[in-house]
Amino acid sequence: MFYVKKRLEISGAHQLSLGYQSKCENLHGHNWIIEIYCKSETLNLDGMVIDFSEIKKLIHDALDHKNLNEVFVFNPTAENIAKWICLRVPHCYKVSVQETEGNEAVYVVE
């Protein structure tokens, strides 16, 4: 099995729709740290699981310096973003999305 990981830093804003009062309901931004894990039993014709530049194009280009509420039709929590990324990137089985130093969400395909 071959494994690769791509780490991205994305600057983006969001505001959450929550069932309780929170300052996160206000528009605010993060420098998100996103780690994308992919695996494959075989390599493509170029000898790769997936080209790192393809991951960057799919994720960084779609999210960086954006209001994430305008990108997604769902509540842009770290958990929902992690799942969206995992479903978008070929061969992806795990994504971690870190909003701040102490707050991180992980989505894993089981």
Question: Order of strands, edge to edge, in the sheet holding 92-100?
Answer: 66-67, 2-14, 28-40, 92-100, 103-108
The pTM of the full predicted model, rounded to 2 decimals, is 0.95
CATH code for the domain in which residue 102 is found: 3.30.479.10
Count of structural domains, the chain: 1
Cβ count near 28 (within 10 Å): 12
Going residue by residue through the chain, which has 110 residues, state the pLDDT in tens, using 9 for 90 and above. 999 999 999 999 999 999 999 999 999 999 999 999 999 999 999 999 999 999 999 999 999 999 999 999 999 999 999 999 999 999 999 999 999 999 999 999 98
The Cα–Cα gap between 5 and 28 comes to 28
Could you tell me the residue range of the domain that residue 36 belongs to? 2-108
Sign of CA dihedral 42, 47, 53, 54: negative
Beta strand 28-40 pairing with 103-108: unpaired
